[in-house]
Structure 1
Amino acid sequence: MPRLHAQPYDITFNGFYFESLEDYTEKANHNHNDYGGPVEEYEIQFIDGDHIDCDLAKAWGINQANIRKYFEACESWDDHEKIVFIVAVGEAGYSFDPDSASPSDFDVEIYRVDSLKELAEQFVAEGLFGDIPEHLANYIDMDAIANDLAMDYTETEVAGERLIYRVA
């Protein structure tokens, strides 16, 4: 579970760490300044947790209005669903509604390869360019194919893993 920090915008308040919505709500309800006034606004900061949940927090744009759904996504989405969301929203610029966000809302193809050249080699091996006779296979220019793929595919890194994606 990610560990977050609620940093008040008012410097007369102290911030606090939390690891769940319940923890946040309890601490926020008891956080008062020196004059007994309640805190109204916090900046929510990702502090510790899985690298993928950190990237999800960045793409999500966590704030006090949407942390409930962020925590739900951290718990219920698998890593692939998180990657789809991170790439779609954080990289490709899709917008989303935090109350109904779902990775299935985004039409993004993700390939777990390190480079466009590796993706070109994968496509050739899968027969995307048809059957290539063995005696001609050495004459295929993978760099040229990779260059062409760069028109539709983008390289990125999510949670320390290099990926190639295409918005369909």
Structure 2
Amino acid sequence: MPQLHAQPYDIAANGFYFESREDYADKAGSNRNDYGDPVEEYEIQFIDGDNIDCDLAKAWGINQANTGQYFEACESWDDHDKTVFIIAVGEAGYSFDPDSVSPSDFDVDIYYVDGMKELAEQFVDEGLFCEIPDHLANYIDMDAIAYDLAMDYTETEVAGERLIYRTT
């Protein structure tokens, strides 16, 4: 489970670390500044956890109002679902409702390859460009196909892994 930090905007108050919605509610409810007043506003910061959860926090735009939904997503989504969300929201600019978001809401095709040329080779091998006779295979210009693919596909890195995606 990721660890977050609630940093108060009140300079007379101390922040706290938390690892769940309940943990946040308990600590925020009892947090007081140096004058005994309750602390109401916090900046939420990702502190520790898996790289994929860090990237998810950035795409999610974690704040006081949505940390509970963020923790739920961290627990219930697998890495592929998280990657879809990170790409859709963090890269492609999709919007989302934190109360009802699901990775299936986003139409994202993800290819776990290192570059456009490798994607071009994969598409040729899978027969996307029809059956290519063996005697013509050496004449296929993979660089040209990769260049064309770059018009519709985008390279990115999520949690340290290079991949290519396309949104529709």
Which residue is equivalent to 2:2? 2
Please list the CA deviations of residues 34-80 of structure 1 after superposition, one character each: whole Å capped at 9, or x if unmatched.
Answer: 11111110000000000000000000000000000000000000000
Aligned to 2:93: 93
Q: Which residue is 1:78 aligned to? A: 78
1:132-151 aligned within 5 A? 132-151=132-151
CA distance in 1, matches of 2:124, 2:62: 41
Q: Secondary structure at the match of 2:68?
A: helix
Q: Which amino acid aligns with 1:111?
A: Y
Instruction: Give the TM-score, by structure 2 length.
Output: 0.99
1:128 is matched with 128
Alpha-carbon distance in structure 2 between the residues aligned to 1:32 and 1:118: 56
What is the aligned-residue identity percentage?
83
Q: Which runs of 5+ in 1 are unaligned?
A: none
Distance 2:121 2:105 in 1: 30
1:41 and 1:150 map into 2 onto residues whose CA distance is 44
Matched residue pairs, number?
168
Q: Which runs of 4+ in 1 moved over 2 A?
A: none
For the residue of structure 2 that corresponds to 1:47, the secondary structure is: strand
**Distance in 2 separating the partners of 1:6 and 1:32:** 13
- Write the mapping of 1:13-162 to structure 2, written as runs, cut at 5 A: 13-162=13-162
2:3 alignment partner AA: R
TM-score (norm 1): 0.99
Q: Deviations over 1:59-107 (max 9, x none)?
A: 0000000000000000000000000000000000000011111100000
